[in-house]
Structure 1
Amino acid sequence: MTAHWRYLESLQPLPNLFLQAALRRKVNGTRLPELGLRSWLDVDAHKLADYRRVCGFADSSLLPPTYPHVLAFPLQMQLMTSADFPFPLLGLVHLANRISIHRPLGGVSKVYVSVQAVDLQPHAKGATFSLVTQVDDGMGLLWEEHSTFLCKNVKIDGPLGGDFEPSPLPLTEVTRWDTPAATGRQYAKVSGDYNPIHLSAPSARLFGFPTAIAHGMWLKARALAALDDHLPASNVEIAVQFHKPVRLPGHVTLSASAAGSHGQFRVDGQQAGIEHLTGEWKPIDG
């Protein structure tokens, strides 16, 4: 884990960070920075309400399980656009995301957020690393996230790791929903993630996509909003793998196992055999 930390009193505006990201299109090394970033961040009630609306979460005294990701996003951006970060941000592929909710996310108004990049590994298509985010309140660790990203066409030495897949549980359809063309722009407004591949067909084509695609973290959030009565509110780890991106506009189906301490879920596309997301939940110590 990172041994050195820098505390930030304030963060750079996201438009400035996206401009820096747009100007960096080349790999400039194969070593992750040893420096992590930390900052105190506030929960804005109006922004939270907008996030609930876009992602389908009902009003609650608890934060949505994915909302700390949005709180931490500016700090994550600042780390991944720093001069010593080796990979171009706009070329990264989000492969997987795992969040752990250690205690109920109630009464949260100000949190201490830490972000670091770790675990650089070889991959068949390049190299992967994990972006680790921790959110603390006055009582200690509250929430944690591990996001796995792929940087293509990077060569590092080492054996290729295999993905562990749990034994499948029986799933039944929970709901279906449309993904309008404006989905990416709506989520960008509430998350700050204005990656061009999500905003419109013309901007997505600049990066090799025929049309805009939905944010992976919007898809995870939308699924968890629909599964609110399936999962525990705390002491739970929720992990997903992102497969085929959701092209906008589109239509998807969410299926899940029965409610309980352990379970699995999947988001499928309109065409048979198209999986967009697979996930599971389990106790943190389970």
Structure 2
Amino acid sequence: MKRKLPSLLGSYSRMLLPRRGLGRDERVPYLAMDSRTLKFDLRHLRAYRQHFGLDPALGVPLLYPQVISLPLHLRLLSRSRMPLSVVGLIHLRSHIQRYRMLDENEPLQFDCRILTSRRSELGLEVDVVTEAWYHDMLYWQSITTYLRRGDFLDAEAKADPLPERAQWRTLEAPVHSGVQWRVPKIVGWRYAGLSGDFNPLHLSRLMASHYGFGKPFAHGMWGLARSLTGRRLAENVRLDAHFKAPLPLGSQVKQVYRRLGKKEQWALLPAEGDGQPMLLAQLDEAPDGPLR
């Protein structure tokens, strides 16, 4: 049991090491990090709340454990047994469930491991599980899916099936227009400083172009957190987010909503025209059991 997070500098330096690549029929190894007992950095938590305008009375923000567990993800994915480089990974989906409210003054045990990988038409997907425990009780859990773009399918091979949690089903309910807001041009660097995620896709036009994007775009978790601002969430709640397209820095976006029973869905769309969604998200205030 360790009591501090891995060094981000050490993880970033490991990312620069050459990788052998993934062989035919090979899977990403099932790696796990040692459990970490961590206390929230209250100054950092306050800075996160201030960045998004969150009320401290609402407790630890739903997405905050995901933010502070980034060093665990980076160290896990940059270990020597990983056959692929972490540089250029794309955050594809997030599934987060809170079972109990987190106390910002109590230490939590964080566990992090690779759940599985799958080959798709876009590349290779890797699922990373993160869990926060307190006295042997699961308080918070996430499954994060990263995408390594590339050709990982043989000529006649079919893509691996997606798990149930990754299937998006639009609620059969009317669409309601919501707020519009702007993605600040400087938010790539600002959120990188807050989260420790210095992925060059969010910071550099040159690097974004190198990986097939026209210009840098906002972190997926920033866009998701921004779209959640102002909501009062239930204690036991599940959030599913599908990052469908880049959220360009400096762009204007609009949110549209659907609600049916205890579920609410929303999409982030370009403010003008009928463009494709950049984010699809769903909140469920009566989720069925733990994440799988």
Q: Which residue matches 2:29?
A: 33
Answering whether residue 11 of structure 2 is matched by residue 14 of structure 1, we say: no
Change (3 A) 1:110 1:259: farther
Q: Secondary structure at the match of 1:16?
A: helix
Q: Which residue matches 2:224?
A: 220
By how many angstroms is 1:75 displaced? 0.9
Answering whether residue 189 of structure 2 is matched by residue 188 of structure 1, we say: no
The one-letter code matched in structure 1 to 2:221 is: M
Contact 2:110-2:132 at 8 Å conserved across structures: yes
The one-letter code matched in structure 1 to 2:265 is: Q
Q: Which moved more, 1:159-168 or 1:132-141?
A: 159-168
The one-letter code matched in structure 1 to 2:170 is: S
Alignment size in residue pairs: 277
> Equivalents in 1 of 2:133, 2:182: separation in Å?
35
> Equivalents in 2 of 1:26, 1:256: separation in Å?
45
Contact 1:122-1:155 at 8 Å conserved across structures: yes
Answering whether residue 276 of structure 2 is matched by residue 274 of structure 1, we say: yes
Match for residue 87 of structure 1 among 73, 84, 88: 84
Answering whether residue 201 of structure 2 is matched by residue 201 of structure 1, we say: no
Runs of 4+ in structure 1 deviating by more than 6 angstroms, as ranges, are: none
Answering whether residue 287 of structure 2 is matched by residue 284 of structure 1, we say: yes
Q: Which residue matches 1:164?
A: 167
By how many angstroms is 1:69 displaced? 0.4
Change (3 A) 1:63 1:120: same
By how many angstroms is 1:203 displaced? 4.1
Contact 2:188-2:219 at 8 Å conserved across structures: yes
Q: Which residue matches 2:251?
A: 250
Higher strand share: 1
* TM-score normalised by the chain length of structure 1: 0.87
Q: Which residue matches 1:127?
A: 124
Q: Which moved more, 1:125-134 or 1:236-245?
A: 125-134
Change (3 A) 1:219 1:62: same
By how many angstroms is 1:257 displaced? 3.0
- What residue ranges of structure 1 are gaps of 5+ in the alignment? 1-6
Change (3 A) 1:155 1:86: farther
Q: Which residue matches 1:3?
A: none
Q: Which residue matches 2:72?
A: 75
Q: Secondary structure at the match of 1:188?
A: helix
Q: Secondary structure at the match of 2:57?
A: coil
1:220-273 Cα shifts (integer Å, max 9, x gaps): 1111124x13x42x2211101111111111111122234962111111123422
Contact 2:42-2:104 at 8 Å conserved across structures: no
Contact 1:127-1:155 at 8 Å conserved across structures: no
Q: Secondary structure at the match of 1:181?
A: coil
Q: Which residue matches 1:114?
A: 111
By how many angstroms is 1:28 displaced? 4.6
By how many angstroms is 1:15 displaced? 2.3
Q: Which moved more, 1:67-76 or 1:89-98?
A: 89-98
1:34-81 Cα shifts (integer Å, max 9, x gaps): 331121122111111111222342332511100000121111111011
Answering whether residue 94 of structure 2 is matched by residue 97 of structure 1, we say: yes
Change (3 A) 1:56 1:208: farther
Contact 2:132-2:138 at 8 Å conserved across structures: yes
Contact 2:121-2:153 at 8 Å conserved across structures: no
Q: Which residue matches 1:47?
A: 44
> Equivalents in 2 of 1:126, 1:107: separation in Å?
38
Contact 1:257-1:264 at 8 Å conserved across structures: yes
Contact 1:180-1:250 at 8 Å conserved across structures: yes
Contact 1:174-1:255 at 8 Å conserved across structures: yes
By how many angstroms is 1:191 displaced? 0.7
> Equivalents in 2 of 1:18, 1:205: separation in Å?
21
Change (3 A) 1:207 1:170: same
